[in-house]
Structure 1
Amino acid sequence: MGVRFCKDGHVIQIIIENKEEVTMKKMKEQQKKREKTKNGRRVIAAKKIQAWWRGTLVRRTLLHAALSTWIIQSWWRLTKDRLLQKKRRAALSDYALRERAVVKLQSLVRMWRIHWRYCQVLNAIYVIQCHWQCHNCQTCALLRGHCVVTATHLQFHIEIINP
């Protein structure tokens, strides 16, 4: 250890260190660096583990959300399908009801028209029979009738047969 003076009168202290002390300090510093690197490695490893765990939690949460979404979407599709089927059934039953009503109305109109024609022919037959009964030759001839019924009309053929 020595002391020197500068030009300005300031004191400069020069310290001469022992080589053993210097090597000991260097060794301690290296040891601290090693501990820091060990601690740093541990910190890095801990951070990696924490990041992995957070990622696992996030993936688990996302999976749960995706499954919940899938369940809700499935329920909604099923509900929409049920509503659509209900509307289709209602439309089909309404169509069938109208169709039955139309068929019934058509059959009633056909029945009325055929009945009306039948009544006309029957009245004509009554008129002919009445005139025939009043006629003098009622014992001389016979009346033979033939009836043809089709979907659109009713026909009667009356023949007078003389024996």
Structure 2
Amino acid sequence: MGIRFCTHGNLIVIVIEDEEVIELKRKKQKLKKSLETKAATEIQAWWRGTLVRRTLLHAALRAWIIQRWWRQTLESLLQKKRREALVTYANTVRAVVKIQSLVRMWRIHWRYCQVLNAIHVIQCHWECHNCYTCALLRGHCVVTATHLQFHIEIINS
């Protein structure tokens, strides 16, 4: 049994309660505190979860920005390498064409020099003959990349 004194202004109230009522009130207060604690715990858990999700979202956005920058950097490096490879290929092709042109020019020049030497030899031998006044030489020469065509006609006058 419990005795409790309460004052209301000038009035003093004596409350006598038995053990069951006191125990019931204690349980009620514990339950109330337990519900308040549970609600506070749920609110705290929700807030912590919100903070964690926000932190993770910021981290994911930062990672995405870094990945996008890195991909752009790799793409620009790849484009630069492609451009350099294309320039190198074009320069190589230009050099090969130039060399081929020079070789072809040299071969034609060499064949032309052969024809000139042949004509010179023929002219020298022809001038040595006594009857060079009685005949004329008429020649025709065709120089190609693979062979030399040389036609000489002796025309009697």
Q: What TM-score comes out, normalization by structure 1 length?
A: 0.73
Which whole-Å CA distance do the structure 2 matches of 1:120 and 1:144 have between them? 15
Per the TM alignment, residue 139 of structure 1 is displaced from its structure 2 partner at its CA by 4.5
AA in 1 matched with 2:138: L
Which of 111, 128, 142 is the matching residue for 1:147?
Answer: 142
Which whole-Å CA distance do the structure 1 matches of 2:133 and 2:55 have between them? 108
For the Cα contact (< 8 Å) 1:144–1:161, is it kept in 2? no
> In structure 1, what is the equivalent of residue 58 of structure 2?
64
Which whole-Å CA distance do the structure 2 matches of 1:100 and 1:152 have between them? 24
Decide which structure has the larger Cα Rg and report it: 1
> In structure 1, what is the equivalent of residue 91 of structure 2?
97
AA in 2 matched with 1:89: R
> In structure 2, what is the equivalent of residue 4 of structure 1?
none
Which whole-Å CA distance do the structure 1 matches of 2:75 and 2:123 have between them? 70
Which whole-Å CA distance do the structure 1 matches of 2:30 and 2:134 have between them? 145
For the Cα contact (< 8 Å) 1:114–1:153, is it kept in 2? no
AA in 2 matched with 1:49: I
Please show how residues 1-163 of structure 1 align to structure 2 within 5 Å: 21-23=16-18, 25-135=19-129, 136-149=131-144, 151-162=145-156
Per the TM alignment, residue 111 of structure 1 is displaced from its structure 2 partner at its CA by 0.8
For the Cα contact (< 8 Å) 1:143–1:160, is it kept in 2? yes
- What CA RMSD, in Å, does the superposition of the two structures yield over aligned residues? 2.5
Query: 4+ runs of 1 displaced by more than 6 Å?
Result: none
Aligned length: 144
For the Cα contact (< 8 Å) 2:112–2:143, is it kept in 1? no
Runs (5+) with no aligned partner, structure 1: 1-16
AA in 1 matched with 2:36: R
Percent identical:
63
For the Cα contact (< 8 Å) 1:143–1:159, is it kept in 2? yes
AA in 2 matched with 1:145: H
For the Cα contact (< 8 Å) 1:147–1:155, is it kept in 2? yes
For the Cα contact (< 8 Å) 1:114–1:154, is it kept in 2? no
Q: Higher strand proportion, which one?
A: 2
Secondary structure at the residue paired with 1:147? Answer: strand
AA in 2 matched with 1:28: I
The farther-off stretch of 67-76 and 26-35 is 26-35
Deviations 1:45-80 (A, max 9, x none): 111111011111101111111121121112112212
